[in-house]
Structure 1
Amino acid sequence: MALRIPQLDPDPASPFPPVETALREPDGLLAMGGDLSVVRLLNAYRHGIFPWYSRGQPILWWSPDPRTVFRSDGVRLSSRFRRTLNSSHWEIRADTAFAAVLSACAHTPRLGQRGTWITDAMQSAYLELHRHGHAHSVEVFDGERLAGGIYGVAVGRMFFGESMFSAQSGGSKVALAALARRLHGWGWPLIDAQVESPHLLSLGAESWPRREFIARIAHGLAQTQAPGRWTDAFGQLRASQLACGAD
């Protein structure tokens, strides 16, 4: 039987269907079509919705149930990994290499995955979000080379993670832990991680019913936060600080 998926209105400001109407199989598929404009994307994130589709498909919009979430004080690094960070010279910054992080997330091979969902159109859309101060990257540098990174979208005081990568072992873990450290210090309680995986759960992610997720993010979304680059506010962290829990 063919799936009956709502088609979005051409107007980027038009509303999405209620997330409660998303399909159970495939989990969270809510709507199709529309565009990847800044207005449409921000509207989606404000309602717990994100785009995810492959090249050759129409734009597909999702709101899965359950939802995978990190508390900003809940990212866990194993004791063994923390010990390796004691002697690490990696440095972590924000919004100094957004395009490079985005490209690396799109092109880094992943076990069991062919191709990428971060298409050229998706990259262009998130670069535009970044230019408007809504999309951010956290970068892990080994000297002048990227060892890992993460990027996502900030709305209010809520961070919606999109993707992360490692060019060196542990690079994405350090990027995530550094992001969580800063967000917790700023009073941002949550990081949306979208879809569950064993790797995310091993780092402290939790699986929440969609209803709870939508209710819990409402407070963060309601808090005004001016868009703009995070470079100065984020400052610079050393990976070794994540080993000992220092600020």
Structure 2
Amino acid sequence: MLRMNSVFFAFVLSTTFISSSPFAQSSSNIQNTSQGTQNASSATSNQTSSNQANAIAMLFGEPITLADITPDQDTISKTRKQAPDNVTQLVTQMRAINLANQIIEAVLSDYASKNNIKVDESLVEAFKQKFGSEYEKNNKKIAAKKDAQQEDSDLKESTSAEDTASIDEIASTQVERWQIEKHLYNTYGGVVIFEQSNPSMPVEAYLTLMKEYASAGKFNVVDAALAERFWAAFEPPYEFVIAPEDVDFNQPWWR
């Protein structure tokens, strides 16, 4: 079963601007600018058409290609060194997880916006009080290891992601996710499961929400193998089911 970790993402839109003087341009300059605009527009259109033709999924009208979900070369190289016999399988799994994360985060962001779900700052503070000291201890251990092994490039690379995430960012992300999941459970109900990264995950509510968005054409996984992996993450049979009487979203799990 795919683990739906909180990996927030943003689409980066690239726009090409053509600068030109508004004064006294010659006819040839105007024609050149016009031609340049047409060429740029044509290239953008061709690129968009190409992406759509090669799309393995569509998300809110935007194509997702295999390149968009493939791990970078450094990650693939490390995987090949650590598990040379399973690199193809592991890369396939990473692609499936990356695609799932993109779809989940886009859907949840839209759902939160439509339902006016705002991050509760008091819960953020409670999270920081609960885990702040532990986070600082871990950071000190990581820093000590880096100082002791400055020549170990693999270690430096593996800890860089942890260094960039502050306790404020982690707390805000966790609180927002819990608030969304509380709203999901109150809206759809269904089975809740325990996961190490999420003690109360309303998996069946996720399934209902994803089906609603898919039926509305908000997303579509075109690639059959990836589609099967995506939906398998939400569908039964479920492991570590929490008894209905023990499900409690009145307070977040860290309080």
Give the TM-score taking structure 1 as reference length.
0.23
Structure label with greater radius of gyration: 2
Structure with bigger helix share is 2
Structure with bigger strand share is 1
